[in-house]
Structure 1
Amino acid sequence: MCFFDQHRFACGDWKWGHFRQHCNREYRTGETCGMKLIMQTVPVSQKCKLCDKIDTKQRRRNAEEDRVNRWKREGGKFRASIDRSYDMIRSLDKEIYDLRSERMRKLQAV
């Protein structure tokens, strides 16, 4: 039951921070017992890296979708570009799904 800081992000996610204090169960110098308790929670105003990646991919997906809609309004002369953008949207959807699944696994692991 050694004590650590906890960093809480704006998205609600968190990570362990610096080690702060040994418990009475650990007698070896420089070692921790393996059980982590929170000494203090440090709020962080930004989102975690995983949420930043999700937001970036979502913006990219929205941009591709806007581009496809613009090309469709202009007529059917950009068929190959539209198909390529649809492929990009599908791959971005898969990446976003994988990142969200990873975030849910992290939240459930606690």
Structure 2
Amino acid sequence: MCFYDANEMACQCWKWGHFRQHCAKEYRTGETCGMKLVMNRYKLAEKCKICTKIDTKERSIRKEEDRIRRWRKEHGRTASIAKAEEDIYAYQCDIQRLLHEREVKRGNLAW
């Protein structure tokens, strides 16, 4: 049960920070016991990598939807519309995978 900092980001995600103190269980110099306890919590202004990726994919979806709206007004763009709809579906699948990954990661630390 060695002590570490925990960094909480603006998106409510967290990550382990710097090692701070050994516990009484570990007697070897320079080694940790493997169990992590929070010594200090710090709030960070930026978002985590996963949430940044989700934001990027959501912007891509909005961009493709705008293109589809514009192309529907034109004629003969059915192939472009179909490709854009496939891209949107792929982005939505990626977002679902990232959301699941974020929930798993959030569940690893109980405040």
Per the normalisation by structure 1, the TM-score is: 0.93
Distance, in Å, in 2 between the alignment partners of 1:4 and 1:106 is 17
Q: Which residue of 2 aligns with 1:59?
A: 59
Q: What is the percent sequence identity of the aligned residues?
A: 50
Provide the residue aligned with 1:44 in structure 2. Answer: 44
Residue aligning to 2:76: 77
8 Å Cα contact 2:5-2:19 kept in structure 1? yes
Cα distance in 2 for partners of 1:109, 1:34 equals: 15
Contact map agreement 2:14 2:106 (CA 8 A) in 1: no
Report the secondary structure of 1:37's partner residue.
Answer: strand
Contact 2:6/2:14 (CA < 8 Å) preserved in 1? yes
Secondary structure in 2 matching 1:4: strand
Q: Structure 1: which 5+ residue stretches go unaligned? A: none
Residue ranges of structure 2 left out of the alignment (5+ in a row):
none
TM-score, normalised by the number of residues in structure 2: 0.92
Structure-2 separation of matches of 1:14 and 1:104: 11
RMSD of aligned residue pairs (Cα, Å): 1.1
Runs of 4+ in 1 over 6 A off after TM superposition: none
Is the contact made by 2:4 and 2:38 (CA closer than 8 Å) also made in structure 1? Answer: yes
Q: How many residues align?
A: 109
- Would you tell me which structure has more helix in proportion to its own residues? 1
* 2-structure distance, mates of 1:42, 1:82: 46
